[in-house]
Amino acid sequence: MSRLDQTRSFIPVSIAILTVSDTRTIETDKSGDTLAERIGEAGHWLADRAVCPDDTAEIRGHVRRWTTDPEIDVVITTGGTGFTGRDVTPEAIAPLFDKHMEGFSAVFHRLSYDKIGTSTVQSRATAGLVNATFVFVLPGSPGACRDAWDGILKAQLDYRHMPCNFVEIMPRLSESLRRGATEGGGRSA
């Protein structure tokens, strides 16, 4: 069963938030506000925050820039995960994934089902690693952001969370990148 190991010290991580929307601004972005508040309350750092339109190139540009910044540990996007023609966030980000995190989607949908029932199938929430940086792709509603943070991310981004958490493996995420470079492989952009 999960628990907090109080003998471990909390380690804050640096998180960037990207809201994907054709209509929101920083001033009207309730989902981004929800995430920013929770990040701060948990003791983490908000590294950057932006709003961009539902445009594949712009979404990828933000995620690429943030995942190559050594000061950013985690990127969370909100919005663009539905099925309408403008919902392109998963398509924009999935090709960037070095590793997919299927378990995130499964747990997110399990939590979401308890709150909104079968409507959860209308979300294509996903997650993975890009350049040794965790990237979480969330729906655009404040409720979905709350569910993902409170039900998954808060615990997994807490070094004290047992039996395991993302923070304790962060130093080892780039092992394959270093190995590829030393073996003459390297990583394609």
- Domain containing 94: what range? 13-182
What pLDDT does residue 2 have? Answer: 86
User: Per the domain annotation, does 76 fall within a domain?
Assistant: yes
Measured CA to CA, the distance from residue 125 to residue 43 in angstroms comes to 25
Residue 130: CATH number of its domain: 3.40.980.10
pLDDT at 181 over 90: no
What are 88-145's pLDDT values in tens digits?
Answer: 999 999 999 999 999 999 999 999 999 999 999 999 999 999 999 999 999 999 999 9
Q: What is the DSSP string of 79-109?
A: S--SSSTT--HHHHHGGG-SEE-HHHHHHHH
pLDDT at 12 over 90: yes
How much of the chain, in percent, has pLDDT values that exceed 70? Answer: 93
What pLDDT does residue 1 have? Answer: 81
User: Per the domain annotation, does 8 fall within a domain?
Assistant: no
Question: Which has more pLDDT, 179 or 56?
Answer: 56
Q: Specify the number of domains making up the chain.
A: 1
User: Per the domain annotation, does 1 fall within a domain?
Assistant: no
Question: Which has more pLDDT, 2 or 159?
Answer: 159
Q: Kindly state the greatest CA–CA separation across the chain.
A: 50
User: Per the domain annotation, does 189 fall within a domain?
Assistant: no
